[in-house]
Amino acid sequence: MTIIITKNGKEAQKIEKSNFENEKEVQEYIKENPESLPLYEVKSDVQLLILKREFSTTSGPADAIGIDRDGDLYIIETKLYKNPDKRTVLAQVLDYGAAIWKNTDFNYFINMIEEEIRSRFNLSFEEKLTEFFDLDDDELERVKENLQNNLDKGIFKFVVLMDKIDDRLKDLIIFMNQNTSFDIYGVELDLYKFDGSEIIIPRLFGGEVKKEIKNGKVNIRKEVGEEYHLNKRSKNVQKWFRELKEFILKNNSNFTISTPESFISFKLNGLNVFTFRFHNTNIDMDGLLGFCIQKRVEYLNSRLKLSKKIGPYQRNRNDREKGRGLPRIRIESENTLNDAKRFIEFYIKNIEGEKKRKEKDYCE
């Protein structure tokens, strides 16, 4: 493909596609510019931190390992189209995943990553996660918990990165995503060079299947059950959640409960109304995601007269820039448990209004 560059609508210049010299050049580019992987087409607002290049496994070195804010792990394998090994690239990246799952425990993984992170950023692994994703202490613990769970269960996202992906591989990626629980993405990078700058045009394949899954056409999300979340938590945390569950269902028996690995949610007509995230000694309960969140929590605090104010939980920089977020209560005592009940009762009574406030720019 040829692209045209102009200046003020004039002086058009035609630029032909360039070639990456070798796979190392692609690997280095992705390490420094992970946002060039169009994973946002699958997972909105995703940020990817490349933890290590040439991650050693018993099946050979994986080209790169990355992590996102949810603790999801990405195994990235690069291949140039001219490389004869391109025909086996999918088997290769899956082989790395199997090797990491079988032979790499959490502590060993962290030790391998720690050395790389310190040499690149002069920060510890935890410090880099906190800085890069703008985490508080509880959010950091959640990321680490999810990371450990993904390692233990072999839950990875696989990225095949090439300068050209043939139709056969595209079809195979879509087939695997449609018929298995694997998350596999093909990324094709077009490189152009102009006036000392590089222009990258990325294209993602395989994401269309995962969007259908998220929209409910194909549902492979794993339900882990309530005890998965409550096990090893304090007795108070277990008691508080069970009491709130009974309170929610008593107020409206139409709620359904979903238990994916990161949280427990209570849904009404498919909409997440309440979400619970568990820590050792407390629970974070969130209401509906909405815009103008600061104004919203001020209203809720003045209306509900709680013992401890609701705070706006904003997951990332994009939430802060757009003024959206989740009203959050931290349940850590009997007083905050009663706060949560007042919050739940208000939401259930005003659910139609709350659903409207979920819409963009609705700020009343």
Could you tell me if residue 90 is inside a domain? yes
Domain count, the chain: 2
Give yes or no: residues 200 and 231 share one domain: no
Residue 237 CB contacts under 8 Å (≥ 6 apart), including other chains: 230, 278, 279, 280, 281, 282, 283
Q: How many whole angstroms separate alpha carbon 219 and alpha carbon 46? A: 21
Say if residue 300 is in the same domain as residue 169. Answer: no
Whether residue 364 lies inside any domain: the answer is no
Q: Which residues contact 31 (CB under 8 A, 6 or more apart)?
A: 50, 53, 64
Which one-letter DSSP state was computed for residue 18? B
Structure tokens belonging to residue 25: 């050049």
Are 200 and 256 in the same domain?
A: no
**Do residues 59 and 96 make contact, with C-beta atoms less than 8 angstroms apart?**
yes
Query: Could you give the CA distance from residue 305 to residue 312 in angstroms, rounded to a whole number?
Result: 16
Range(s) of the domain holding residue 293:
226-357
Helices (H), the chain: 23-32, 89-103, 106-121, 125-133, 137-153, 167-179, 207-214, 226-230, 235-251, 293-304, 317-322, 334-349, 351-357
Does some domain include residue 177?
yes
Query: Both 183 and 230 in a single domain?
Result: no
Q: Within 13 Å of residue 157, how many CA atoms lie on the same side as its CB?
A: 21
For residue 330, what is the domain's CATH number? 3.90.1150.200
Which structure tokens are listed for 239? 């008691």
Same domain, 186 and 44: yes
Residue 116 lies in a domain: yes
pTM for the model: 0.60
Task: Compute the 3-state secondary structure of the chain and give helix, strand, coil in percent, each to the nearest 5.
Answer: 45, 25, 30
Local confidence pLDDT in tens for the 364 residues of the chain: 778 888 888 888 888 888 888 888 888 888 888 888 988 888 767 889 999 999 999 999 999 999 999 899 999 999 988 877 777 899 999 999 999 999 888 999 999 999 899 999 999 999 999 999 888 888 888 899 999 999 999 999 999 999 889 888 988 998 888 888 889 999 999 888 888 888 888 999 988 664 444 444 444 456 788 998 898 789 999 999 999 999 999 999 899 998 887 889 998 877 788 999 999 899 999 988 777 788 888 888 888 889 998 988 887 666 777 788 889 999 999 999 999 999 999 988 887 655 555 444 444 4
Residue 1 placed within a domain: no
- Domain identity same for 252 and 176: no
Query: Is 287 found in the same domain as 344?
Result: yes
Clarify whether residues 80 and 124 are in a common domain. yes
Q: Is 59 helix (H, G, I), strand (E, B) or coil?
A: coil
Last residue of a domain, one of 158, 186, 214: 214
Answer yes or no: do 35 and 63 share one domain: yes
> Do 190 and 335 sit in the same domain of this protein?
no
The structure tokens listed for 119 are: 């040499």
